[in-house]
Amino acid sequence: MAASMLPSAPVTDLLPIIPELVLVVGAFALLILDVFLDASRRAVTHVLTLAVLALAFVLLVTHVGGQGTVFNGMFVRDNLADVVKAAIVLVSGLSLIYGWPYLRERNLYPGELPVLVLFATAGMMMLSSAGSLVMVYLGLELLSLCSYAMVGMNRDNGLSSEAAMKYIVLGSIASGLLLYGMSLVYGATGSLELSQINAAIAGITDRPMLLTGMVFMVCGIAFKLGAAPFHMWLPDVYQGAPTPITLFISSGPKLAAFAMAYRVLEQGIGPTSPQWHLLLAGLAALSLVIGNVVAIAQSNLKRMLAYSTVSHVGFLLLGLAGGGPEGYAAALFYGIAYALMSAASFGAILVLSRNGFESDTIDDFKGLSARSPWMAGMVLCVMASLAGVPPFLGFWAKLVVLRAALNGDLMWLALVGVICAVIGAFYYLRVIKVMYFDEPVGALPAPRAGKVVPFVFGVNALGLLVLGLAWNPLMTWCKAAFGL
């Protein structure tokens, strides 16, 4: 009798979370299926994982389930959520495609890997749809815990284990900072719902507790983005993790962190924007300077790309600091562009690597044009786009965030961005220089029999040129996410 009196939500109310349900149900199904498969049949779970991601992607781009709120406003599906989630699912699928030969050659494809990828992707999607600080933390921890496990997947490698330990320790500190900041904001406003927090701030005259909470939350967000001075985990984790895992954590999570920043800062504590815009501007300047200057000294390509990530996060923060729908759309455009460029940059390492040859130093690319002109041309496209050379996608991405900074009356920050873009071009052009002007060192290992990964890499690299020549549709898509 009592049970019949409990409120029950119609199944139709859960339709907006269909993409997340597909990922979670698929992850549990694969976890059970793996019990009945031996190591020689891992291809089955790999293909099924890609099928689950493809289904989620179709559901997102076709808006199946519709938009709306679920769980009393804790979960929000809107245009922004659909755009960010579609990009996240795409780069997650790319990371699995790129990583298959690498991981299989080294016996590093355990049955739990595709499950972890699906759960991590679901966590990123939850972050993108967070309407409450509770959902923010749930999504963040789901992503983080899966990422920690994947980074330390190669237990026989000391670098991988060290990277996982550093990631866990520093990530836990960052999560604690974020949670402490959330508790202060809750104490100041009396709510965990972002919309209610936004409304309550207007009536608060004494704001020390609120502003302190804001500072702690910005620190937590900066860590997840990899912004300086909270970037100390990036180089070691990028270098120590297996390259396919580095590709995964360098692309999708940055988009999820951007969505988290927008939800928490703009939709949550938006009335304190003069303060957090200033903080983001400072983080952007530090990230641009530290990322580009330190990257010049790196000889390991993965570490160089790690510091370049710091600089690219600085450019993304230009858009957020500029503020307004135009600035946020520019930051989203940059985030998607960087996710595609990052996937291609680590994809180049994976295409050239073989068992016993990691291809993760700049010297490994010496004379590549003489050995493989097509591959050298594709790497050139990737590096030129990262450097912001026109007409590649990276050029337009930098241009729109610099314009957003100018529109936000941040002329000084835009100047820092331009100077650092010129500095950053040096280490990308160095890779191009060693490919075309240095003598080959030794011989490349025999090419793999498979053609799928080189083909995907070619599409990914050439896509940076094609999207650079026709970038308006992507920019329009990003603007639509903010109602422009």
76, β-bridge pairs: 69
Residue 218 main-chain phi, psi, to 5 deg: -60, -40
Per domain, the residue ranges of the chain are 15-480
Integer Rg of the chain from CA:
22
User: What letters, b where the CB count within 10 A reaches 16 and e where it falls short, cover 450-468?
Assistant: eeebbebbbebbebbbebb
> How far apart, in whole angstroms, are the C-alpha atoms of residue 314 and residue 227?
7
Residue 361 main-chain phi, psi, to 5 deg: -115, 155
300, β-bridge pairs: 361
pLDDT one digit per residue (tens) for the chain, 484 residues: 444 444 455 666 788 999 999 999 999 999 999 888 887 788 899 999 999 999 999 999 999 988 899 988 899 999 999 999 999 999 999 999 999 988 888 888 888 899 999 999 999 999 999 999 999 999 999 999 999 999 998 888 888 899 999 999 999 999 999 999 999 999 999 999 999 999 999 888 888 999 999 999 999 999 999 999 999 899 999 999 999 999 999 999 999 999 999 999 999 999 999 999 999 999 999 999 999 999 999 999 999 999 999 999 999 999 999 989 999 999 999 999 999 999 999 999 999 888 777 888 898 899 889 888 999 999 999 999 999 999 999 999 999 999 999 999 999 999 999 999 999 999 999 999 999 998 876 666 666 667 889 999 999 999 999 999 999 999 999 999 998 7
pLDDT of residue 1: 40
Residue type, 330: A
Largest Cα–Cα distance of the chain, in whole Å? 82
Residue 62 exposed, middle or buried by CB count within 10 Å (0-12, 13-18, 19+): exposed
**Among candidates 338, 442, 274, 304, which has minimal Cα distance to 88?**
338
DSSP string, 224-236: HHT-TTS-TTHHH
Q: To 10 degrees, what angle do helices 301-322 and 411-437 make?
A: 160
> How far apart, in whole angstroms, are the C-alpha atoms of residue 401 and residue 403?
5
**Cβ distance 293 to 333 under 8 Å?**
no
> How big, in percent rounded to 5, are the helix, strand and coil portions of the chain?
75, 5, 20
> How far apart, in whole angstroms, are the C-alpha atoms of residue 305 and residue 109?
24
> How far apart, in whole angstroms, are the C-alpha atoms of residue 383 and residue 360?
15
**Cβ distance 319 to 280 under 8 Å?**
no
Residue type, 242: P
Structure tokens at 233: 């985990």
Residue type, 138: L
Residue 77 main-chain phi, psi, to 5 deg: -115, 115
Q: List helix spans (H) across 296-438.
A: 301-322, 324-352, 368-371, 373-387, 393-407, 411-437
> How far apart, in whole angstroms, are the C-alpha atoms of residue 481 and residue 477?
7
Counts of helices then strands in the chain (DSSP H, E): 19, 2
Q: In residues, how long is the chain?
A: 484
Q: Which pTM was predicted?
A: 0.94
pLDDT of residue 446: 62
